[in-house]
Structure 1
């Protein structure tokens, strides 16, 4: 073949191949562009569906959460005996007490402030109680509180690393040209009263038995084994006793100031008599009797309003009512009048009460276990009512008002409770069947 012709044929073939490759590349690129232009038209619908689905799921979840919260609020029912909550405390409320005339309620708060609520003749359900703030000296938080001779004087127990202290606050009245003002100030103070041990309970009573002069006697119980008795107005130490039972749980004084009783580590309860001199002062504190009958440690106790009976609660799951109006000096033993089972739910690990308090008429017993509050008929042991979660935390103190308090158009017995949840609640007494 002619060389010129061969070169020409080869050139045509190569040119055809080049054109074929070019068009193939061109059409592939166009197809890709067409696909890329077509896909965005589908993407918005897909995204809309995805976003819409996401929003719908979110909305469903939100509605479900809102519905759950609503159900939760609805399930948190208001207890019918709960008539008021005294708010405004900045920390756990460790103690409370009513004045002897029932016109004031004092609270001891871990925020370092004593608050004295003025009840007077106000409705117990009122939301606008006036109260007096009394700042405590720098140091440890208060652990107990008690009124002294009247509603204007208060004894407060505090606890610090250096030991426990007692402060008595009284009102010093100053008169100016326009009005009379009252300013609480420290009248006396005692430090390291139980060495470095904390004060567990602080109780006061008006000494009216025998030759007593009507002064307020204060009893402080340490976490050790010692218990001390103080003259409320002067702060003088009147006497002390030792339970010799490893550690104390609590101690209380009878309403007439005659007896002192302690619940400690063992099943026996020791009772002492406070003997008064002719001039009305405390002469001595002598051992009187022991209450024997429980099978395990007694956790708490309280006196009846007439000071002739003691109610005890034990870790053995029972309560006992004792008659202590006996001639113990003639070796006559106190008598067990009644024994009742503690009506706490069986699923609790420890069927015992932490605190007891008897109503002014001696008919209704208030008792606590953790955050549970119960009311019982003293005559029969019947459980009258229960507030399973009376507070959002452990109940630290409870006290009955010594006199009826107005609620609406009626006069009712009122119980006050304090808790670590920063609240103080007022409860009306349940109705006893005739």
Structure 2
């Protein structure tokens, strides 16, 4: 029992020492944590106090260097304006009179019409690209960029209410030229067109069939319909000019019409207006064409191109009246610069050329070229324009006495005898003149029978002019 008691006492002594050690460790740890917390609080208070002192010092420094605030100045009110002067006293004898009405400036008057202007035909929606008279001068056709071909009936050229027939070209195409395909009137209209695939040619003619016959029996005129159509006639090149002439020379039948289309390349094609057959193609070999035209009797074809020379071909007809060949027969040499336009006289024996060299030449082409006789230049006269400009288009009257020429918006009438200016319309149109042509026959007006000139422009107007007297 004694040994047992000693072991138990020893065990209790050991446990008591361990407990005392643990209690001491807890006390030490608690004391260290308390001291650390106190130290952190003291450090935070010192940092805040130092920051507050620095901020106050900076604020005092700024206040010391900043300028004193400006004093508000007192603005005195403006002096009162003097009273308006009293109107002068009106005498008693003037009180009964009425006051004069205020003067009103008159409105500006429109530009007076030129004395030779017969009519200004409106109704086109876009620029006019081609015009042509029928052989009897009673029909006038226009091609317009609004995709409409219009045919005006000229019973009275001065009327403001002309009867007009409208023909729509196929969708996607724009008419660039027009010519009559019937030698006796206006039954056929040949139209040059342009679309995304290139240039084309089509012909409007009188409709046929039962429906058209019934309409005629009822006194109605059926609208023309497309009889034939050709596409890509000059590949993708535009048509510059489209002119027509009856086959009257030699063995020509005198009734059928030839159409000449000139491309912006070097090719010119001749077509039969009746069936749309291309009867011949010629090449100018002059880099780039400017224009081409056919003589009124259908004998000659002339072309102006990039050079100063003008080439002329003869259209040869067979015994059946059809075109057999086109042969180059003449070359007009004499100009010093490129020829801008050319036109035949109505007897088809002379040709007139206008050039960038500032001169107009008249040539006699009624020569024996088969015997190597050259054409003769019979007249040369300078271009007499107010602004020293060049004539872009020319057209000679049916009596071969008057030459009409255009430059920009200016229209000039010249004498073919000596080149003197007969009259000038400086602002004939509001835009550049695109087309010019004479009626083949004189037309009756209030002034009697007169020769009529037609001009068209980008200003969407078609104008008719009488000849200078």
Give 1:355's aligned residue: 393
Check the 8 A contact 1:96/1:399 in 2, yes or no. yes
Give 2:214's aligned residue: 175
Give 1:189's aligned residue: 229
SS at match of 1:168: strand
SS at match of 1:329: helix
| CA separation of 1:77 and 1:256: change in aligned 2, threshold 3 A | same
Give 1:29's aligned residue: none
- C-alpha RMSD of matched pairs (Å): 2.2
Q: Any residues of structure 2 matched to 1:360-371 within 5 Å, and which?
A: 360-371=398-409
Check the 8 A contact 1:275/1:284 in 2, yes or no. yes
SS at match of 1:181: coil
Give 1:402's aligned residue: 440
TM superposition shift of 1:409: 4.9
The aligned length equals 370
Give 2:268's aligned residue: 227
**Pairing 1:308–2:371 present:** no
Give 2:148's aligned residue: 113
TM superposition shift of 1:182: 2.1
Query: Rg: which structure is higher?
Result: 2
TM superposition shift of 1:161: 2.7
TM superposition shift of 1:125: 1.0
1:90-143, Cα deviation, whole Å (9 max, x unpaired): 110111010001110001011010110011xx2221111101010111123211
TM superposition shift of 1:44: 12
Equivalents in 2 of 1:161, 1:343: separation in Å? 41
Equivalents in 2 of 1:353, 1:248: separation in Å? 17
Aligned equivalent of 1:94, options 129, 138, 147? 129
Question: Could you tell me the TM-score, scaled by structure 1's length?
Answer: 0.82
Question: Could you tell me the TM-score, scaled by structure 2's length?
Answer: 0.76
Check the 8 A contact 1:175/1:181 in 2, yes or no. no
TM superposition shift of 1:410: 0.7
Q: Any residues of structure 2 matched to 1:3-402 within 5 Å, and which?
A: 70=108, 73=109, 76-119=111-154, 122-149=155-182, 150-172=185-207, 173-176=212-215, 178-214=218-254, 215-345=256-386, 347-348=387-388, 351-402=389-440
More strand by share: 1
SS at match of 2:449: strand
Check the 8 A contact 1:404/1:412 in 2, yes or no. yes
TM superposition shift of 1:344: 1.4
Q: Which ranges of structure 2 fall in alignment gaps of 5 or more residues?
A: 1-75, 85-101
Equivalents in 1 of 2:333, 2:446: separation in Å? 45
Equivalents in 2 of 1:101, 1:234: separation in Å? 22
